[in-house]
Amino acid sequence: MCADMNRAVIFLSVLSLFFSNGTMALENTTAEFDSVGITVSLLNHRENDAFKQRINLAPFNRLNITVRDVPSDIWFIVLQIHTFQYNATLSYDKALLDKVSNRSLFGSNIGLYLKTYGITAPIQVFLKHENVYNLDALLVIITYGRNAPIPGGCNMEFDIKVSPYQKLHAENGMILVDTQPASILFSNGSSISCEKSPIQHKMYRLYLPRQDFTSDTYFDAITRMLTVQDIVQNGDEIPAGTLTSSMRRIYSAYTGTGSVYAMVAIYENYSSAYVPIFTYACSPLLYPESCKVLNDAFSHIICALVLIIGCLSIIIGYKYPSIDHSLPSCMIGGILGYIIALNTGDYSIAINVLIGSTFAILAAAISAVLGVCTWLRNISLGFLCACITYLYAPAWMFYVLEHNWLFWPMFISLILATTILLMTISYVAEIITRAIFGSYFVIVAIDYYTGSNLKYIIITIIRRITIPGFNLAFVYPPFQGAGMSL
């Protein structure tokens, strides 16, 4: 280590801070400065407590983290580092900090399992980061008793033997989160066989406010997903699909909306939490543009056009029925064109949107020339209803929706049912269609500028059609004010 590096190092003594199991208080810590690293005392901590400490590391710095005074009823701890935007390395061995190995871990939501019961050697891990900026991080230690399942104890795939962390991978409008099964130590010292493990795993998700990339919001969200009690209280449980491994979850990505994923392992009355993992579904730091869904001048213009058409439809639509009647075919044409564009080649978004709009205009023109087909309009409304139903279907429906052979017949029957229903009440239908399409156009356009999630009504179905494997994704959107006004 560079001797000249001025290391601010802290000794923390943490005294009876806890009011009840799992509740945490971020804490009245006293700090002392010497040159060893951070020493955390777990005196007076009980099972399932969370110790939390914000740390700030100078560029290219390293830190020794030592844990001491571990009460004797604590059998193991999960020591976690959550960094804001930058990556860091956490390692069991000082010598391995510079290598990729099976005893060190690189990332921004990382954590290691440390056995504490009957250990005499100092309990120590090493943190390093190689960013040219200060590293803003949260150090977390969660304590567990002898009966708690060991997160990642039955690891078969990750590099580190016991891997309480999760892996997140974002691609193609999907977010994949992978975890390794937990293990358990019986009181007679034997552990369960990992093949037929009786341990139950549950996955939870928490959304952040959309387009909020501040560190305070980030750390606040992480803090709410650390202990089992907090996770169950703050997160939404996500069902496992029947077509994917029970240790994997796939989500539809909401670009620019942060989300925290947490996993809980439960065995009888005991439970433990994995290291939560986080994503914005884009990189606000490296590619800020990636955090907007459609992000060029061209889509601004399209949206302005859509807004104008929508307003026209609402304001003067009853005077000029032809504008009004071509709106639905315009929308369906647009979506069709966009899907065709996506499937036929690797064009940029702008070209895809252009092809989509060409189709939209063509469809509108055709329906205007051929006169008004009522059924076409009603089918479009049925389509919109089916899309909304898909997006907002309750969690238990996921078991049905993930199967393509069940989903598509249901989707089409729903369109047909809505269409037939509207045919039977054609006068009402006309009013409804006009109101809904007009306002949907207006809302989608406004939505584009304000960034709410309404556009995902259409985006989700487009993803379902164009992205292979998207049927396995959980699509339910974040609840956020503006979105529900449709």
Ligand X SMILES: *[C@@H]1O[C@H](CO)[C@@H](O)[C@H](O)[C@H]1NC(C)=O
Contact window for ligand X (CB under 6 A) among 182-190, 290-298, 353-361, 444-452: 182-190
C-beta closer to ligand X: residue 285 or 308: 285
**Integer CA distances (angstroms), 162 to 37, 104, 149, in order:** 25, 12, 12
Among positions 6, 16, 20, 269, the unique one binding ligand X when judged by CB under 6 A: 269
* Whole-angstrom distance, CA of residue 12 vs CA of residue 31: 5
Nearer of residues 287 and 405 to ligand X, judged by Cβ: 287
Owner of token pair 């907002």: 392
Question: Is residue 129 close enough to count as binding ligand X by CB under 6 A?
Answer: no
Nearer CB in complex with ligand X: 157/268: 268
Work out how close the CB of 118 gets to ligand X at its nearest, in angstroms, rounded to a whole number: 19
Task: Give the residue with the Cβ less far from ligand X, 38 or 353.
Answer: 38
**CA neighbours within 13 Å on the CB side: how many for 129?**
23
Q: How far is the CB of 268 from ligand X (least distance, A)?
A: 4
- Comparing CA positions, the residue from 476, 383, 474, 469 lying closest to residue 422 is 383
**Residue 37 is a binding residue for ligand X (CB under 6 A):** yes
One residue of 6, 16, 28, 120 binding ligand X per CB under 6 A: 28
How many amino acids of this chain bind ligand X (CB under 6 A)? 19
Q: Which stretch binds ligand X (CB under 6 A): 68-76, 183-191, 316-324, 478-486?
A: 183-191
Are 106 and 57 in contact by the 8 Å Cβ rule? The answer is no
**Among 477, 482, 486, which residue's Cα sits nearest to residue 257?**
477
Min separation Cβ 441 and ligand X, Å:
38
- Judged by beta carbon, residue 66 or residue 299, the one nearer ligand X is 66
C-beta separation of 52 from 138 below 8 A = yes
The H-or-E segment that residue 350 falls in is: helix 349-369
The answer to the question of residue 188 lying near ligand X (CB under 6 A) is yes
* Nearer to ligand X among residue 14 and residue 391 (C-beta): 14
Q: Give the residue with the Cβ less far from ligand X, 270 or 411.
A: 270
Name the phi and psi angles at 293, rounded to 5: -70, -55
- Of 79-87, 272-280, 294-302, 378-386, the segment contacting ligand X by CB under 6 A is 79-87
Cα–Cα–Cα angle for 328, 329, 331, rounded to 5 degrees: 65
Q: How far is the CB of 28 from ligand X (least distance, A)?
A: 4
CB of 157 to ligand X, least distance (A): 12
Burial grade of 368 (CB within 10 A; 0-12, 13-18, 19 or more): middle
Of residues 143 through 172, those in contact with ligand X by CB under 6 A are 161
Instruction: Tell me the per-residue interface mask from 43 to 62 with ligand X, x by CB under 6 A, - otherwise.
Output: -------------------x
Smallest distance from the beta carbon of 36 to ligand X, in angstroms?
A: 5
CA distance 339 to 356: 8
Beta bridge partners of 76: 115, 144
- Determine how many CB atoms are found less than 10 A away from the CB of residue 102: 13
Rounded CA gap, 156 and 406, in Å? 33
DSSP state of 213: -
CB 40 within 8 A of CB 71: no
Among residues 285, 316, 435, 484, the one that binds ligand X under rule CB under 6 A:
285
Interface residue with ligand X among 8, 13, 23, 87 (CB under 6 A) is 87
Give the Cα separation of 450 and 446 in Å (integer): 6
* Strand spans (E) along 160-269: 167-171, 174-178, 200-210, 236-238, 248-252, 257-267
Q: Which is nearer to ligand X, 5 or 400 (CB)?
A: 5
Alpha helices in 394-455 (DSSP H): 398-401, 404-424, 426-450
413 binds ligand X (CB under 6 A): no
Query: Is residue 120 at the binding interface for ligand X, with CB under 6 A as the rule?
Result: no
Contact flag: residue 11 with ligand X (CB under 6 A): no
Q: According to the binding rule CB under 6 A, does residue 102 interact with ligand X?
A: yes
Find the binding residues for ligand X in span 415-444 (CB under 6 A). Answer: none
Q: Which residues bind ligand X (CB under 6 A)?
A: 1, 28, 36-37, 62, 64, 85-87, 94, 102, 161, 186, 188, 190, 268-269, 285-286
